[in-house]
Copies of this chain bind each other. A is one copy, B any other.
Amino acid sequence: MTAGKDGLAAVIVTLMLIPQSLAYAMLAGLPPITGLYASIAPLLLYAVFGSSRTLAVGPVAVISLMTAAALEPMFPSGSAAYIGAAMLLAALSGVVLLLMAVLRLGFLANFLSHPVISGFISASGLLIALSQFKYILGVSAEGQTVLQLIPSLAQQLPFINVPTLLIGGLCLVFLQLARTRLKGLLLALGLSPGWADSLTKTGPVLTIIVSVLIVTWGDLASSGVHVVGAIPEGLPALRLPTMDWQLAMQLLPAALLISLVGFVESVSVAQTLAAKRRERIDPDQELVGLGAANIAAAVSGGFPVTGGFSRSIVNFDAGARTPMAGILTALGIALTALFFTPLFHNLPHAVLAATIIVAVLSLVDFGSLKRTWRFSKQDFIAQAATMFGVLFMGVEIGIVMGVSLSLLLFLWRTSRPHSAVVGQLPGSEHFRNIERFNVIQSDTVLSLRVDESLYFPNARYLEERIIELMVDYPDCQHLVLMCSGVNLIDASALDSLEAIAERLTAAQVQLHLSEVKGPVMDQLRRSDFLNEFGGQVFVSQYAAMQALDPASIMRAAQS
């Protein structure tokens, strides 16, 4: 039963993966066959090492775009040097992912915040669609950014190839309708939802078959319609990528970004699907699975791969239950590479481009910019910067800008934690923020609550805050630091506390602590601070006030 479901899922995913892998190879600037190669060995290795049962690995749009962005400035698209470099990029990406697994650096992916990823994917989608338009028009245009692509396309408008445009345009319309309307139509025609769904998924394959037939029948290749042409039959030979240390160093930054983006995309999909069946994925094991898949791509003529979103959902919905579905899919693609590549000879580039455009435009979501703006201005800045960077300065610069900005904003926020001067709530033993509550404050004892662990990003902030308070409260004789929100004190914060105690002593003020948590107390006992700071550690803020200013307690009780 399980095997049967896995088999059905494999057939559907194979039919979906064939056009996708040919198209994404083209997007990456590589010969179409490399797309098939990248969909065989990587799937097998992921099935062995990955932790998700339903993730479908292979070429994906954004990673292919990043591959092209890294390689196109270096080599002519599709040349032997370009293919070797693409394999090297996959190898580097595999090594990076495996290293991240060994060093347990998977957490680094957390620092690609969601607004940055969403902005990156939307802008990349737009950029990819634009870059594929030349195939629909049947012209040649170059460029890595919107600013280069649009003028380049505009210049070429006089040279549009009409048969190409007709085929490409019709495919675009059909694929878009298939995606949005076909299922409803089939349901209306009385098909069962399962069949309607499966038929809809085969839209791209249908398009390919029909277009190949039309081009062959009309001999459109001689009318200037660019076709895929002869594809070598057979399985990829196992061979090493270009081994060039200097080139590897040049490609390393791109490989790092590709690894991170690929990992984040893949883990999100895998987690979503695993949770639906209350299954568990292990992010560190995912790093191993994706690393192995990329190494496999590198030694079998492929290029960087990761878990694909739409493909994995199809796999899941078609009932894939075990990694066997992935192995069967690899088998399907291998059979295609062995026997069916001649069928793709007359497949027009325009049809592959239409497949890509429809797929990526569905990823573009400018509404998210508006939602982010409403929810958080800081996140909006990071998201808008990423989009701007990707569209106008290039994919890599865009994502680096977004990540740097969100990290910078994060560091800024974390370096100024919330703290509040507190006073006693009349008729209770509670101490609350003097700015929000009507509380009783002592004249000689100042109570400061810090709502954050004390560590180096905010250590200096506390020093500054306390200096300011000393200026604002010239009559203060005791300062009680209320540590109810402090889960950790690191060495920098300990130094700061010592400096604060010393400065306060010089200004005739004594520092005390209150409500210090157990683990923090254990930690402080391993230093000399408790013996040297001269103050006391009180169980509660109330106890501190009882000891240091009983008169204020009386006032709070009376009022």
Contact B410 A457 (CB under 8 A): yes
- Among B107, B275, B470, B504, contact of A470 (Cβ-Cβ < 8 Å): B275
Contact B487 A418 (CB under 8 A): yes
In chain A, positions 368-385 with a C-beta closer than 8 Å to chain B are 371-372, 374-376, 378-379, 383
Q: CB-nearest residue of chain B relative to A518?
A: B436
Interfacial chain B residues near A471, Cβ < 8 Å: 278-280
- Among B451, B463, B504, contact of A271 (Cβ-Cβ < 8 Å): B463
A198 within 8 A of B: no
Interfacial chain B residues near A280, Cβ < 8 Å: 467-468, 471
Q: Tell me what chain A mostly uses at the interface: helix, strand, loop, or mixed.
A: helix
Known: A280-B468, A456-B406. A275 touches B506 (CB 8 A): yes
Give CA–CA (A406, B456) in the complex, Å: 9
Give CA–CA (A108, B278) in the complex, Å: 42
Distance (whole angstroms) from the CB of A372 to the closest CB of chain B: 5
Q: How many copies of this chain does one complex carry?
A: 2
Contact B460 A110 (CB under 8 A): yes
A226 within 8 A of B: no
Contact A456 B111 (CB under 8 A): yes
> Can you name 9 A-B residue pairings with CB atoms under 8 Å?
A107-B411, A107-B415, A111-B456, A114-B491, A271-B499, A272-B503, A275-B507, A276-B506, A418-B487
Q: CB-nearest residue of chain B relative to A104?
A: B412
A523 within 8 A of B: yes
Size category, A interface: 35 or more
Give CA–CA (A459, B267) in the complex, Å: 13
- Among B272, B281, B372, B410, contact of A499 (Cβ-Cβ < 8 Å): B272
Contact B412 A527 (CB under 8 A): no
Give CA–CA (A277, B411) in the complex, Å: 31
Give CA–CA (A523, B416) in the complex, Å: 20
Contact B451 A487 (CB under 8 A): yes
A79 within 8 A of B: no
Contact B499 A464 (CB under 8 A): no
Contact with B along A475-509 (1 / 0, CB 8 A): 00000000001011011101110010001101100
- Among B272, B375, B464, contact of A527 (Cβ-Cβ < 8 Å): B375
Distance (whole angstroms) from the CB of A518 to the closest CB of chain B: 9
Contact B467 A274 (CB under 8 A): yes
Give CA–CA (A115, B309) in the complex, Å: 44
